[in-house]
């Protein structure tokens, strides 16, 4: 009886210990997860939006003076939601949104590898909640998973060339979230020297910015899924009249940037977001202008950046087979049928060559032959977008990174088609081939996909999450051959570009898409002096 009570007491205090952590910023209480043996610390604030200038740098969050109850991850930053299931108002959000979630496996280990995941969403939508990025598949491998919100749209990515809004505020939010993790994760049982950052799509593009910034590096590894900072359109010129224009559209006419700023700082975020969405503003990162007393996050075009922080970094990165098939199902479909226009506008995001008709003709001949418009060559347009927007810039970046000292770059090609291919399932895509976002369904749970995968899909989840978490733990996705992973995935070398094809089987292939990549190698070599952003 007595022994039993002592054991019960021990068990209780043990559980309590794991739910309550004591960090540098105060004590934080979590909740047990209901879909696995791990604890969730939800909605921990890591920074604060400056109410006088919500478009500018975020400010530190004060320490907690009593236990912070990390029970609620429902806040998202102001946005028009895209993956929006159900009716009602697609706008949602609040400026008090700079929160992160920490998912900690319920195990004895005290130096767990840590994965900080950055969601994608074209800089204007996205959120960190569990219904989109559930950690169940990853935490089984004894790694801590962190997801977080960063500011989006005008609040995160307005680039005005003024010291108050130099641009890339959302990147600074991300940096602060990663720093919070570095400084506090030990209290959760994490190893601050074993941090992997990663992301998908614009999340990967921004993750790549953390490789290229001159700020001190806060992590040891990076996972870039279908995105790099060199993707066309990811970095754009600043828009010095944005504040004045948006203020005017909301009904405040002024010629003075600072008057527009004070007006918009007080305006309801819902009005600001709905207005910028209505007028189809697109938000991007920019190359910041330098100002006294303002530290830039990015001060050169990523295409030309050597990356002073890349040495010794491990990188795992890759793409799907037909990244842009989804565009045939997206709202921009009609535009796709105007193939010449899309070639021209996409090219313009990267090169000042839109008016060089001979150059456009060569690209047209390469992808479309003599066809020019319409349904007839929509798949060829998709091939162009897949190569120019994703595969080429990413592979080019990986080859560049692999030249750094002690840097291991592992490249993958995801071509497995099961029931969890996220974008294919979302749009009910019937064409063969995997598209953008498809691999995410085998890494995170998401509420519109089956939560009990079939045997084949579960096997794929086990393989992919083991590869990914091996990389987080050891810097190498296949340190040993096992029944689950009967393969050795080699990194890029000075003259080879191996790639793990993740299909029904795992196969090491070499230099994927090499013909098209060679076309773009020649193209870049000929036109690198005509980049549209310097
Ligand atoms: C908040 O923004 C205002 C306006 O730009 C600025 O004067 C103030 O210093 C900022 N606050 C902090 C704590 O940085
Ligand atoms: C979580 O926070 C949201 C937004 O602040 C609030 O509306 C909701 O009631 C909270 N949920 C719980 C369970 O406290
Ligand atoms: C803005 O400047 C122009 C030219 O200087 C002037 O004509 C106009 O009245 C000004 N508008 C406002 C709202 O001050
Ligand atoms: C291309 O031509 C258009 C129309 O003539 C012109 O407005 C634009 O500035 C030109 N773009 C470049 C990059 O030269
Ligand atoms: C996809 O198919 C499912 C099941 O038939 C349906 O509920 C859903 O609305 C479809 N989605 C789209 C975008 O067509
Ligand atoms: C996968 O590997 C097995 C065993 O080597 C082989 O029988 C099968 O044909 C392969 N499947 C594919 C799609 O390549």
Residue 470 burial class via C-beta count within 10 angstroms: exposed 0-12, middle 13-18, buried 19 and up: buried
pTM of the model: 0.94
Q: From the CA of 259, how far away is ligand 3's center (Å)?
A: 13
Q: Which of 312, 467, 328 is nearest to 402 (CA)?
A: 312
Nearest CA to ligand 3 atom 6: 255
Cβ neighbors of 127 (< 8 A, separation 6 or more) are 76, 77, 79, 81, 119, 149
Catalytic residue among 58, 201, 226, 415: 201
Strand-pairing partners, residue 111, are none
Average pLDDT over residues 245-249: 98
Residue 342 has a pLDDT of: 87
Q: From the CA of 326, how far away is ligand 5's center (Å)?
A: 14
Q: Which of 7, 199, 48, 36 is nearest to 107 (CA)?
A: 36
329 lines ligand 5 (CB under 6 A): no
Q: Is 215 helix (H, G, I), strand (E, B) or coil?
A: coil
504 lines ligand 6 (CB under 6 A): yes
**What is the crossing angle of helices 269-278 and 242-250, to 10°?**
100
Percent of the chain exceeding pLDDT 70 equals: 95
Question: Would you call 317 a catalytic residue per the annotation?
Answer: no
State the CB neighbour count (10 A cutoff) for residue 504.
12
Strand-pairing partners, residue 115, are 145, 196
- CATH topology agreement for domains 1-300 and 310-534: yes
Nearest CA to ligand 4 atom 2: 355
94 lines ligand 2 (CB under 6 A): no
* pLDDT tens-digit series, residues 447-485: 989 889 999 999 999 999 999 999 999 999 999 999 999
Residue 333 has a pLDDT of: 76
* pLDDT tens-digit series, residues 115-162: 999 999 999 999 999 999 999 999 999 999 999 999 999 999 999 999
Q: Which of 172, 396, 167, 408 is nearest to 304 (CA)?
A: 396
Q: Is 7 helix (H, G, I), strand (E, B) or coil?
A: helix
Taking the C-alpha atoms of residue 153 and residue 170, their distance in angstroms, rounded to an integer, is 9
Q: For domain 310-534, which CATH number applies: 3.30.1490.190, 3.40.50.1820, 1.10.287.110, 3.30.1490.70? A: 3.40.50.1820
Residue 483 has a pLDDT of: 98
* pLDDT tens-digit series, residues 424-441: 999 999 999 999 999 999
Domain boundaries, the chain: 1-300, 310-534
- Which ligand has the minimum distance to the alpha carbon of residue 355? 4
428 lines ligand 5 (CB under 6 A): yes
166 lines ligand 1 (CB under 6 A): no
Examine the pLDDT at 17 and tell me if it is beyond 80.
Answer: no
Nearest CA to ligand 3 atom 5: 255
**What is the crossing angle of helices 202-212 and 169-184, to 10°?**
70
User: If you classify domain 1-300 with CATH, what class do you get?
Assistant: alpha beta
Mutational pocket test of ligand 6: of 456, 463, 504, 506, the residue with most ligand atoms within 8 Å of the beta carbon:
504
Reported confidence tier of residue 11, pLDDT bands at 50, 70, 90: very low
Q: Which of 176, 171, 172, 181 is nearest to 114 (CA)?
A: 181
Taking the C-alpha atoms of residue 380 and residue 372, their distance in angstroms, rounded to an integer, is 11
* pLDDT tens-digit series, residues 187-207: 999 999 999 999 999 999 999
Q: Which of 381, 400, 418 is nearest to 492 (CA)?
A: 400
Q: What ligand 5 atom has the least distance to the C-alpha of 329? A: 13
Taking the C-alpha atoms of residue 464 and residue 470, their distance in angstroms, rounded to an integer, is 10
Q: From the CA of 254, how far away is ligand 3's center (Å)?
A: 7
Q: Are 263 and 254 in contact (CB under 8 A)?
A: yes
Examine the pLDDT at 2 and tell me if it is beyond 80.
Answer: no
């Amino acid at each position: 009886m007595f022994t039993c009570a002592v054991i019960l007491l021990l068990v209780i205090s043990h559980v309590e210990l794991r739910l309550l952590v004591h960090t540098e910023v105060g004590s934080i209480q979590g909740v047990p997860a209901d879909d696995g043996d791990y604890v969730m610390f939800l909605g921990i604030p890591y920074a604060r939006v400056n109410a006088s200038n919500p478009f500018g740098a975020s400010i530190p969050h004060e320490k907690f003076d009593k236990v912070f109850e990390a029970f609620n991850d429902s806040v998202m930053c102001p946005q028009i939601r895209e993956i929006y299931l159900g009716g009602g108002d697609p706008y949602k959000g609040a400026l008090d949104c700079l929160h992160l979630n920490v998912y900690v496996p319920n195990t004895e280990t005290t130096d767990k590898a840590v994965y900080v995941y950055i969601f994608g969403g074209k800089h204007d939508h996205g959120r960190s909640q569990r219904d989109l990025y559930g950690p169940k598949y990853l935490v089984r491998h004894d790694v801590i998973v962190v997801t977080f919100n960063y500011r989006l749209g005008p609040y995160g990515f307005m680039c005005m060339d003024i010291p108050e809004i130099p641009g890339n505020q959302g990147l600074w939010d991300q940096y602060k979230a990663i720093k919070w993790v570095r400084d506090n994760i030990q209290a959760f049982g994490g190893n601050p020297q074993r941090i992997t950052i990663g992301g998908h799509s614009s999340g990967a593009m921004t993750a790549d910015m953390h490789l290229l910034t001159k700020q001190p590096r806060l992590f040891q590894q990076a996972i870039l899924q279908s995105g790099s900072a060199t993707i066309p359109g990811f970095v754009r010129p600043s828009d010095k009249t944005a504040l004045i224009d948006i203020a005017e559209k909301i009904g405040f006419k002024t010629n003075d940037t600072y008057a527009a700023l004070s007006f918009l700082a007080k305006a309801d975020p819902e009005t600001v977001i709905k207005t910028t969405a209505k007028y189809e503003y697109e938000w991007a990162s920019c190359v910041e202008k330098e100002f006294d007393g303002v530290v830039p996050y990015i001060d050169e075009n990523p295409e030309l950046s050597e990356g002073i922080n890349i040495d010794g970094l491990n990188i795992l990165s890759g793409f799907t087979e037909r990244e842009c098939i989804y565009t045939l199902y997206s709202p921009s479909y009609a535009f796709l049928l105007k193939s010449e226009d899309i070639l021209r506008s996409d090219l313009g995001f990267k090169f000042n060559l839109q008016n060089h008709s001979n150059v456009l003709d060569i690209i047209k001949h390469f992808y479309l032959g003599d066809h020019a418009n319409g349904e007839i060559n929509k798949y060829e347009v998709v091939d162009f977008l897949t190569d120019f927007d994703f595969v080429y810039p990413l592979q080019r970046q990986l080859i560049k990174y692999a030249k750094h000292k002690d840097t291991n770059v592992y490249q993958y090609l995801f071509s497995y088609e099961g029931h969890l291919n996220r974008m294919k399932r979302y749009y009910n895509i019937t064409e063969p081939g995997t598209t953008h976002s498809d691999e995410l369904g085998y890494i995170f749970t998401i509420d519109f996909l089956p939560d009990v995968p079939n045997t084949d899909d579960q096997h794929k989840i086990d393989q992919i999450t083991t590869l990914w978490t091996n990389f987080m733990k050891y810097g190498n996705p296949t340190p040993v051959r096992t029944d689950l992973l009967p393969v050795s995935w080699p990194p890029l070398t000075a003259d080879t570009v191996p790639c793990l094809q993740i299909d029904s089987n795992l196969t090491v292939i070499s230099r994927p898409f090499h013909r098209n990549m060679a076309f773009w190698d020649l193209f870049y070599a000929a036109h690198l002096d005509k980049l549209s952003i310097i």
